[in-house]
Amino acid sequence: MLKNVTLSADETLIEKARHRASEEHKSLNELFREWMTGYVGGERRSQEYQLLMKRLTHARPGRAFSRDEMNER
């Protein structure tokens, strides 16, 4: 079941958003639903990322590689 939400924004901003959405072959409604889905799921994705990084103990982010290491095949 879909529920209507009323939002307010500057008229120029709305027109620019409509134009961009149209270029992407989408409606503002569709983009807003996509944004809401990502917004709600953002915390879960962050937790999944943190768990993944804990499992990847062999990866050491921030480590500088030597020239030879970067050119190994």
Domain ranges of the chain: 11-57
Phi, psi of 61 (to 5 degrees): -65, 145
CA-to-CA distance for 48 and 55, rounded, in angstroms? 11
Q: What pLDDT score does 41 carry?
A: 79
Q: What is the pLDDT of residues 23-40, one digit of tens each?
A: 999 999 999 999 898 888
Q: What pLDDT score does 60 carry?
A: 67
Contact predicate 28/17, CB 8 Å: yes
- Over 80: is that where the pLDDT of 66 sits? yes
Question: How many CA atoms lie within 13 Å of 9's alpha carbon, on the beta-carbon side?
Answer: 10
**Structure token pair of residue 48:** 């999944």
pTM equals 0.55
